[in-house]
Structure 1
């Protein structure tokens, strides 16, 4: 499916079947409309591939874009388990400065907010650590299947 969709100039989107992971890489700071379109693109590709593990690389963005937090937590993230059929795990990659901004911003929920939801979020500054976490989530989900 991802080959059938027109390319977005601000987001690379690729499913990695070897890792069972959808990789979205923001190429620049998106506008609010682009942020929404980009995340809906990620969801469309995830639906086509059955991807429940996502790596979202926001390191090329100029800011962490906290203004999209309310839309993400109230509208977009709740769609994921409905549309993908089970729990979704998202590893976000940030520049250290952006991660510090996010962690200090009271409008951004702490990671514990996601503990009892059907989607898990973790934040990273290192891609290898992010991929290790996604692999651990994949193994945990596989071991819980009957």
Structure 2
């Protein structure tokens, strides 16, 4: 019988674990990371996702001071394209933000709108409530690529 979840792995700024019961890789930022920590953290998440073949991710950024918009070009141009290459499509990412951070993201012209991700090997949604994020990920698991 598989474990319901793997042991959590923690850096001092990021905790992550794969939930086998939900088939979701959960990453929780514990504080505001530096830009280097952010990159290292996302690469750690990708390595864990490869280990478990995880294509459903919940990224909880609610403990951060801000939404790290300065890292957006790296995320969009470098990191996100790796997901489909290394995990196979589709990869579904549910990001949890504080309402004020989500508002900042949505008003920042340098941050692509969610429609930017249409037709790509990865899908992104932004949430302020974990239950809604998990529901969306469950829908992605149930309905698969054609969602």
Q: TM-score, normalised by structure 1?
A: 0.93
Match of 1:12 in 2: 15
User: d(CA) in 1 for partners of 2:41 and 2:12?
Assistant: 10
**Structure 1 runs, 4 residues or longer, greater than 2 Å off:** none
Per the TM alignment, residue 7 of structure 1 is displaced from its structure 2 partner at its CA by: 3.4
Match of 1:53 in 2: 56
1:111 paired to 2:121: no
User: d(CA) in 2 for partners of 1:140 and 1:73?
Assistant: 25
2:127 pairs with one of 108, 114, 124: 124
Q: In angstroms, what is the RMSD of aligned CA positions?
A: 1.6
1:68 paired to 2:68: no
Contact 2:88 2:121 in 1 (8 A): no
SS in 1 for 2:73: helix
Contact 2:25 2:56 in 1 (8 A): yes
1:90 paired to 2:93: yes
User: d(CA) in 2 for partners of 1:15 and 1:123?
Assistant: 20
Residue by residue, what CA displacement relative to the aligned partner does 1:22-74 show, whole Å, maximum 9, x if unpaired? 00000000000000000000000000000000000000000011000000000
Aligned residue-pair number: 141
Q: TM-score, normalised by structure 2?
A: 0.92
Gaps in structure 2 of 5+ consecutive residues: 1-5
Gaps in structure 1 of 5+ consecutive residues: none
